[in-house]
Amino acid sequence: MKRYYLLWILLGILYPNMKGQVPANSPLGNVKKIEVSHSTYTFLTTNGRAQVTVYSPGVIRIRVAHQAFAPDFSYAVEVKPEACHVQVTDAKGLYTISTDSVTLRITKDPLRFTFLTKTGEVINADDPAFGTSWLGEEVTTYKTLQPGERFIGMGEHGGNLDRAGTACVNYNTDNPEYDDASDRMYSTIPFYMGLHDHLAYGIFMDNSSRSLFSFGAGSNRFDYFRASCGEMNYYFIYHSTVKGIIGSYTWLTGRTPIPPIWSLGYQQCRWCYFPEADLLSTAAKFRERHIPIDMIYLDINYMDHYKIFTWDPNRFPDPKAMTGKLQKMGMHLAVIIDPGVKIAKNYPVYQQGVDSSLFIKYPDGTNYAGQVWPGWCNFPDFTMPKTRAWWGRWVKTYADEGVTGFWNDMNEIAVWGKEVPDLLNLNWDGLHTTYRQAKNVYGFQMARSTYEGAKKYMDGKRPFVLSRSGYSGLQRYTAIWTGDNQAKEDHMLLGVRLINSLGLSGVTFAGMDVGGFSGNPTQSLYTRWMEIGAFLPMYRAHTTINSNREEPWDFGETCEDIARRYIGFRYQLLPYIYAGFYESSQDGMPLNRSLAINYTNDSTIYDPEFQQEYLFGPSILVAPVKGTESLCRVYLPEGNWYDLFNDKPYAGKQVIVANSELNRLPLYVKAGSIIPMQKLVESTADNSGDTLFINLYEGQQPNQYRYYEDDGTTYKYESGHYYKRLISYDPQQAMLTFGKKEGSFTSRFHVITLVLHGFTPEEVQHLTVNGAAKTVTPEEIRFFTSHFAFADYGPFDTKHVLSVSFPDNDNEMQVHW
Ligand code: MIG
Please check the confidence at residue 15 and state whether its pLDDT lies above 80.
no
Please check the confidence at residue 799 and state whether its pLDDT lies above 70.
no
Average pLDDT over residues 122-132: 97
Q: How far is it, in rounded angstroms, from Cα 292 to Cα 281?
A: 15
- Of the two residues 782 and 512, the one the predictor is more confident about is 512
Q: Mind listing the pLDDT tens digit for each residue in 58-81?
A: 999 999 999 999 999 999 999 999
pLDDT at 791: 57
Q: How far is it, in rounded angstroms, from Cα 542 to Cα 519?
A: 11
Three-state DSSP class for residue 791: coil
Q: Mind listing the pLDDT tens digit for each residue in 721-755?
A: 999 999 999 999 999 999 999 999 999 999 999 99
Q: Mind listing the pLDDT tens digit for each residue in 223-261?
A: 999 999 999 999 999 999 999 999 999 999 999 999 999
For residue 780, name the pLDDT band (cuts at 50, 70, 90). low
Neighbour-count burial for 680-696, b at 16+ CB within 10 Å, e otherwise: bbbbbbeebeebbbbbb
Domains defined along the chain, listed by start: 21-253 (2.60.40.1760), 595-669 (2.60.40.1180), 674-816 (2.60.40.1180)
pLDDT at 1: 42
Give the list of residues 6+ apart from residue 119 with CB closer than 8 angstroms, or none. Answer: none
Q: How far is it, in rounded angstroms, from Cα 582 to Cα 588?
A: 9
Neighbour-count burial for 507-534, b at 16+ CB within 10 Å, e otherwise: bbbbbbbbbbbbbbbeebbbbbbbbbbb
Report yes or no: 48 and 75 within 8 Å, Cβ to Cβ: no
**Residues β-bridged to residue 163:** none
Average pLDDT over residues 189-218: 98
How far, in Å, is the centroid of ligand 1 from the Cα of 189? Answer: 22
pLDDT at 46: 96
pLDDT at 22: 83
Share of the chain above pLDDT 70, in %: 95
Q: Mind listing the pLDDT tens digit for each residue in 387-421?
A: 999 999 999 999 999 999 999 999 999 999 999 99
Radius of gyration (C-alpha) of the chain in whole angstroms: 28
Report yes or no: 224 and 218 within 8 Å, Cβ to Cβ: no
Q: Which of 15-24, 128-137, 178-187 has the lowest mean pLDDT?
A: 15-24
pLDDT at 646: 82
Q: Which of 307-316, 368-377, 564-573 has the lowest mean pLDDT?
A: 564-573
Closest by CA position to 201, among listed 256, 131, 149: 149
Give the list of residues 6+ apart from residue 321 with CB closer than 8 angstroms, or none. Answer: none
682 Cβ below 6 A of ligand 1: no
Give the list of residues 6+ apart from residue 805 with CB closer than 8 angstroms, or none. Answer: 691, 751, 752, 753, 754
For residue 20, name the pLDDT band (cuts at 50, 70, 90). low
Q: What is the dihedral of CA 515, 518, 521, 525, to 10 degrees?
A: -50
Q: Which helix (H) or strand (E) holds 392?
A: helix 385-400
pLDDT at 12: 44
Which atom of ligand 1 is nearest to 513's Cα? 4
Give the list of residues 6+ apart from residue 580 with CB closer than 8 angstroms, or none. Answer: 591, 617, 618
Q: Which of 538-552, 769-783, 794-808 has the lowest mean pLDDT?
A: 794-808
pLDDT at 133: 97
Q: Which of 46-60, 637-651, 696-710, 790-804 has the lowest mean pLDDT?
A: 790-804
How many CA atoms within 13 Å lie on the side-chain side of 353? Answer: 29
Please check the confidence at residue 120 and state whether its pLDDT lies above 50.
yes
Average pLDDT, rounded, for the chain: 95
Q: Which of 85-94, 350-359, 793-802 has the lowest mean pLDDT?
A: 793-802
409 Cβ below 6 A of ligand 1: yes
For residue 4, name the pLDDT band (cuts at 50, 70, 90). low
pLDDT at 2: 46
Q: How far is it, in rounded angstroms, from Cα 373 to Cα 301?
A: 10
pTM of the model: 0.96
Bridge-based pairing of strands 111-116 and 433-434 is unpaired
How far, in Å, is the centroid of ligand 1 from the Cα of 350? Answer: 22
Q: Which residues are catalytic?
A: 409, 412, 484
How far, in Å, is the centroid of ligand 1 from the Cα of 409? Answer: 7
- List the residue whose alpha carbon is closest to atom 11 of ligand 1: 484
Q: Which of 269-273, 547-551, 800-804 has the lowest mean pLDDT?
A: 800-804
How far, in Å, is the centroid of ligand 1 from the Cα of 5? Answer: 61
Q: Mind listing the pLDDT tens digit for each residue in 284-306?
A: 999 999 999 999 999 999 999 99
Which atom of ligand 1 is nearest to 517's Cα? 4
715 Cβ below 6 A of ligand 1: no
300 Cβ below 6 A of ligand 1: yes
Bridge-based pairing of strands 332-337 and 813-816 is unpaired
